[in-house]
Structure 1
Amino acid sequence: MIAIDLKFEHLQWQYQISTTFFIFVILPALYYIYAKYISKSPNRYNKLEAPVKFKFPIPDEAKPHWKGKRLYPPNLGIQVPNEPNKIQSYCPATGQYLGTFATTSKDEMNLRIQRAKAAQKSWAHSSFLLRRQVLQTLSRFIIDHQEDIARVACRDSGKTKLDASMGEIMVTLEKLNWIIAHGERTLRPSTRPGPSNLIIGLMKSGEVRYEPLGVVAALVSWNYPFHNLLGPIIAAIFTGNAIVVKCSEQVVWSSIWFVDLVKAILKLLDIDEDLIQLVYCFPNDADYFTSHPDLNHITFIGSKPVAHKVVENAAKQLTPCVVELGGKDSVIVLDDVADFNALSSVIMRGTFQSAGQNCIGIERVICLPKAYEALVDILSKRIKDLRVGSNIDQLDEIDMGAMISDNRFSQLENFIQDAVAKGARLVSGGKRYQHPNYPQGHYFEPTLLVDVTPEMDISCNEVFGPVLTMIKANSIDEAVEISNGTEFGLGNSIFGKDFKTCNEIANRLESGSVAINDFATFYVAQLPFGGVKKSGYGKFGGEEGLTGLCNAKSVVMDKPLLRALGIATAIPPPLDYPIPNDKQAWNFVHSLNKAGYDNRVWEIVKSFKKLASGGA
């Protein structure tokens, strides 16, 4: 009987604790989530901005079981023999032909820019309600057709569907939904404190109004054909601009489909399709595009050598630029990491996603001694098991896809050979790979290179390929020095148990972004994105990405109370032309400065007295 009573009491105690926990912890947490995320979710829209459902057919080349003709050298490439004004698209994973497209001529560039300019005049005055509806419709289509979009991106870039889902679809949905939720607030007129002068501040207020620039341009890279193309389009549409995108000549086939998708949405909502234009050409005609007088802003995503030409041409028209270039991103690993197995998964994803063709991909893993030994042991076993191929064509499980072309394979092999000659150890990979099913596909073996040191070529040059390099540092100071020891500064990551230490390291790293105990989440979080040093300048993404596409117009006005009373500011009589009395005018301004900026009460009182007398 006693045992039963004790058991009953114990159950009662358990019940009371769980009820308390539910009332004071679970319920407040659920309310917080609802208030912060669900009630304000971009998916909870006004009926007037509800997404419109529509159909948009997927190209045959992206459908399962498509059998296209294969190209073989010397015809395997984007150049068409004897036709300098044609671009040939093909799948880099299989060598299958996708189509041939005439390059955009200078006359056609002029025409498309003028069409965009005409369409933007009315779009500049569009409501945020309509702009959100465009984004809502695009977001809903992407959510409902993820596989179609992934297959188009994979067919033109050679990546896997999983890489497309994470690097193309998820980040695009995040950008769309963040702007839907926060874009209008970001672009509302921003009230500012106004003058700090005590007297003038009582009379004047100020605000900044964000107005569209007009026709903006984006020159985007091939490594994320969907996201890199859609990102600038989304931002341009929402800020009231028109946009002309120059896609990479490597991914013309998919870029046409993606742009046509957005144009279909514009047409569906009775918006001028000319708001978005696509051009594609070889570098010789790109100079004309970037120096065009009717472009009001240029965003460039690409390499440092090409950026020099873009900026040089833009300078001819004083066109402002945002330039996002390469990186040599590092991961600094401290010895107190709790789970090196879990961390190895992060490092592999950061290195081998999209076959390493990622501007914020992990280029260097810099470890303290204990972490170094643990990770080298784990990664040596895991990387050897990676499987390469085309998972939109094969039934086999595939971990990594192809590279966009084979034109850098020799450079990658030279980097690796140089490192080995200088003391590095090649654990696995290190050379191009001929796939048994797709011998003309552009595959490079997943590579692990350990005992790398800063003086090796691979330590300071961007690899942009599936090569994981491991560097040992004997102290935090040395790790930071190695991380900062390149000309690049795009992004970094730090892993360690002690947040205070990680945070201090973050403050010492020379880069545009840092993730603590994670990889590249600064990009997903819709923070301003861009680099320092030779990784470029300017920002896109987040609030700064939107306001950067606007003219920040400063407006100063009389305070509302003065306007209501019909009082307007005027030039005081002692300062009016012609100056009636130079000495009196000087005394007036002298007293105005004293009254407005002096922090001594008596001096302010005396200055007001002087002002009241008109400076006499």
Structure 2
Amino acid sequence: MFNEAEWQYQISATFFIGVIVPTLFYCYKRYVSTSANRYNKLEAPVKLNLPIPDEAKAHWKGKRLYAPNLSVRVVDEPNVIQCYCPATGQSLGAFPATTRDEMDEQIEKASIAQKEWKQSSFSLRRKLLHSLNRYIIDHQDEIARIACRDSGKTRLDASMGEIMVTLEKLNWIVANGEKALRPSQRPGPSNLLIGMMKNGEVRYEPLGVVSAIVSWNYPFHNLMGPIIAALFTGNAIIVKCSEQVVWSSQWFVHFVRTVLKQLSIPEDLVQLCYCFPEDADYFTSHPGIDHITFIGSKQVAHHVVASASKQLTPCVVELGGKDSVIVLDDVKDLNALSSVIMRGTFQSAGQNCIGIERVICLPQSYGKLVEIFTERVGKLRIGSDIDQLDEIDMGAMVSNNRFDKLQQLIEDAVSKGAKLIHGGKPYQHPNYPQGHYFEPTLIVDVDETMDIFNEEVFGPVLTMIKAEDVEHAIELSNATEYGLGNSVFGRNFNECNEIANRLDSGNVAINDFATFYVAQLPFGGIKKSGYGKFGGEEGLTGLCVAKSIVMDKPLLRMLGIATAIPPPLDYPIKNDKKAWGFVSALNSAGYDNRFWKVLKSIKKLAKGG
């Protein structure tokens, strides 16, 4: 047995060998592989001095709105969008909705700017991304405050869900984007004879003017992600933000356009549109839009896709989810896992498309986790951490328009046998009575007969479901119409991996939560969670025309040899029998696997059929 000193030495040595050394090696490798890009003077970031709005500063005292039901709609002003902080009810100003004529003008300006931008070098595009990256890193607190003021979330939620993932996208594209967009060499024809003469490749060219219709739950990242991908691929972009977050979206687009101006790149490449649903169809069916990325609800997606079909505009559609976490009975540390589940459920007040909507546990894990959550959920503190000195765990929801629905889902579950342990109703904050707060909720013993099992909650509700065994857990996970993301936790990797293969979803994390999104893998769902992918290589090439090019091989070009129509096949056909013999021999020589048949066919071809 080791004494205490020996034990500490063993721990230290293991940590050094297992963690420190690999980390240093990884950092060195990353430095070597990216130093040319990072420190190339031509790609060095520009300095930017851009003050943040007063509303995002500490101790801001804005006018509170006291309407019975706060809304982005303004009575007697149907074309004006009222912006306000959902955590405090403070006004953030009123903005005239983008008119149809203004949409036409924005798309026209973007199209003109894109014709110049599509010729830009990858070096300049990386310089742009470096500049965005540098400003975001140096102004994390300010950017988080802007996102929080418009969405009601906490600064920590903004840092993890808005800033970190945006920085990851910027740096991943800087390191890998050009490689993903290089012409892709293809094998060429499988025909033995034609393949000896022809090369094939796919070239990725920008589509033109693309658009992103993004949801309000992550006002910074949901806006910046499509902009970053569009600009790096040589496109212009029109972002249609939600009416709920016009105030912050205005500033974020101003930030991007300021960087563009600093680099002498046309500012018109990036445009911002915001309107009410009655004018949205005009935007989505506009002939000047070459691609639409839609992030939102299934109900709205039906309108977007139907409208886009009028111009045959391609769409990527990322909708809601009913993501599950499957917890096996051999999980080593349920306390640590409970922290992951808490973050996945209550971050941004549960308003996450890949948030944890269902915790499906095997029997032994179930009881222990219920005990842990019963203690932890009740301790969560609600409020606005950019206004309060107190420690805050969870912020406001962006609106109260789903409060009735949340209560209906919870009441339905309780009426069918579920147990409500914590929460279940709106919360009136003593300092911010106009804020849109809903109590952190824990509900257990949920089953598939309850509406909350099947319908997306999109709120701060932790739902616990007991599975009989692994087969039952997989069955429960796959039992909804959604298929966006899932997680599997267990000690046996092979078992977890097999479960991941059987889950009906576009993304799965093994012993982790939602890291498939951070990892810049292609992101998207199946079933009613949408179709198409954004993120990673596929996200970049999806914003391009995949142009197929076939050409003679270099040696043939160098020798001046070009392919031509063989005389037996030249119009007008001189001898039909001979022409048929030539073509059939060509097929046999190219595709027959029998050596003697190939030789015989080549001999026939040499004779002209």
Structure-1 residue corresponding to 2:3: none
Verify: 1:597 aligned to 2:591, yes or no: yes
Report if the CA contact (8 A) 2:148-2:158 is conserved. Answer: yes
Counterpart Cα distance in 2 of 1:277 and 1:603? 62
Verify: 1:51 aligned to 2:38, yes or no: no
TM-score, with length taken from structure 2? 0.96
Structure-1 residue corresponding to 2:413: 419
Of 546, 553, 566, which residue of structure 1 is paired with 2:547?
553
Q: Which amino acid aligns with 1:288?
A: Y
Report if the CA contact (8 A) 1:220-1:229 is conserved. Answer: yes
Verify: 1:209 aligned to 2:188, yes or no: no
Q: Which amino acid aligns with 2:255?
A: L
Verify: 1:298 aligned to 2:288, yes or no: no
Report if the CA contact (8 A) 1:42-1:181 is conserved. Answer: no
Structure-2 residue corresponding to 1:3: none
SS in 2 for 1:84: strand
Question: Post-superposition shift, 1:76?
Answer: 2.3
Taking a change above 3 Å as real, the CA distance of residues 42 and 543 of structure 1, as seen in their structure-2 partners, is: farther
Counterpart Cα distance in 2 of 1:317 and 1:565? 46
Of 86, 93, 96, which residue of structure 2 is paired with 1:92?
86
Q: 1:172-212 deviations in whole A, cap 9, x for unaligned?
A: 00000000000000000000000000000000000000000
Counterpart Cα distance in 2 of 1:369 and 1:560? 65
Counterpart Cα distance in 1 of 2:27 and 2:51? 37
Q: 1:66-118 deviations in whole A, cap 9, x for unaligned?
A: 00010012462211110000000000000000000000000010001100001
Question: Post-superposition shift, 1:40?
Answer: 2.2
Counterpart Cα distance in 2 of 1:432 and 1:25? 45
Structure-2 residue corresponding to 1:486: 480
1:386-405 aligned within 5 A: 386-405=380-399
SS in 2 for 1:316: helix
Q: Which amino acid aligns with 1:291?
A: S
Q: How many residues align?
A: 600
Structure-1 residue corresponding to 2:67: 73
Taking a change above 3 Å as real, the CA distance of residues 576 and 512 of structure 1, as seen in their structure-2 partners, is: same
Q: 1:521-579 deviations in whole A, cap 9, x for unaligned?
A: 00000000000000000000000000000000000000000001110000011111111
Q: Which amino acid aligns with 1:407?
A: N
1:167-186 aligned within 5 A: 167-186=161-180
Of 136, 140, 148, which residue of structure 2 is paired with 1:154?
148
Structure-2 residue corresponding to 1:128: 122
Verify: 1:361 aligned to 2:318, yes or no: no
Structure-2 residue corresponding to 1:246: 240
Q: Which amino acid aligns with 1:244?
A: I
1:183-582 aligned within 5 A: 183-582=177-576
Question: Post-superposition shift, 1:33?
Answer: 4.2
Q: Which amino acid aligns with 2:307?
A: N
Question: Post-superposition shift, 1:34?
Answer: 1.6
Verify: 1:82 aligned to 2:76, yes or no: yes
Q: Which amino acid aligns with 2:209?
A: V
Counterpart Cα distance in 2 of 1:120 and 1:325? 29
Counterpart Cα distance in 2 of 1:385 and 1:378? 12
Report if the CA contact (8 A) 1:435-1:441 is conserved. Answer: yes
Report runs of 4+ in structure 1 exceeding 6 Å deviation: 24-29
SS in 1 for 2:237: strand
Report if the CA contact (8 A) 2:37-2:43 is conserved. Answer: no
Q: 1:508-530 deviations in whole A, cap 9, x for unaligned?
A: 00001000000000000000000
Identity, in percent, stands at 74
Taking a change above 3 Å as real, the CA distance of residues 29 and 227 of structure 1, as seen in their structure-2 partners, is: closer
Q: Which amino acid aligns with 2:163?
A: I
Question: Post-superposition shift, 1:244?
Answer: 0.4
SS in 2 for 1:380: helix
Counterpart Cα distance in 2 of 1:594 and 1:334? 56
Q: Which amino acid aligns with 1:342?
A: A
Q: 1:299-352 deviations in whole A, cap 9, x for unaligned?
A: 000000100000000000000000000000000000000000000000000000
Structure-2 residue corresponding to 1:115: 109
Segment of structure 1 superposing worse, 69-78 or 106-115: 69-78
Taking a change above 3 Å as real, the CA distance of residues 470 and 41 of structure 1, as seen in their structure-2 partners, is: farther
Q: Which amino acid aligns with 2:226?
A: P
Q: 1:104-134 deviations in whole A, cap 9, x for unaligned?
A: 0000100011000010000010000111111
Report if the CA contact (8 A) 1:215-1:295 is conserved. Answer: yes
Structure-2 residue corresponding to 1:606: 600
Runs of 5+ consecutive residues of structure 2 not aligned to the other structure: 1-5
Question: Post-superposition shift, 1:35?
Answer: 2.1
Question: Post-superposition shift, 1:46?
Answer: 1.4
Q: Which amino acid aligns with 1:455?
A: T
Report if the CA contact (8 A) 1:42-1:177 is conserved. Answer: no
Counterpart Cα distance in 2 of 1:26 and 1:138? 31
Counterpart Cα distance in 2 of 1:281 and 1:37? 45
Counterpart Cα distance in 1 of 2:26 and 2:527? 41
Counterpart Cα distance in 1 of 2:22 and 2:311? 56
Counterpart Cα distance in 2 of 1:544 and 1:271? 26
Question: Post-superposition shift, 1:51?
Answer: 0.4
Q: Which amino acid aligns with 2:235?
A: N
Counterpart Cα distance in 1 of 2:565 and 2:53? 69
Report if the CA contact (8 A) 2:446-2:465 is conserved. Answer: yes
TM-score, with length taken from structure 1? 0.95
Q: 1:438-493 deviations in whole A, cap 9, x for unaligned?
A: 01100000000000001100000000000000000011111111110000000000
Question: Post-superposition shift, 1:39?
Answer: 3.4
SS in 1 for 2:38: coil
SS in 2 for 1:40: helix
SS in 2 for 1:57: coil
Report if the CA contact (8 A) 1:350-1:362 is conserved. Answer: yes
SS in 1 for 2:196: helix
Q: 1:332-381 deviations in whole A, cap 9, x for unaligned?
A: 00000000000000000000000000000000000000010110011110
Runs of 5+ consecutive residues of structure 1 not aligned to the other structure: 1-10
Taking a change above 3 Å as real, the CA distance of residues 476 and 25 of structure 1, as seen in their structure-2 partners, is: closer
Structure-2 residue corresponding to 1:4: none
Q: Which amino acid aligns with 2:124?
A: L
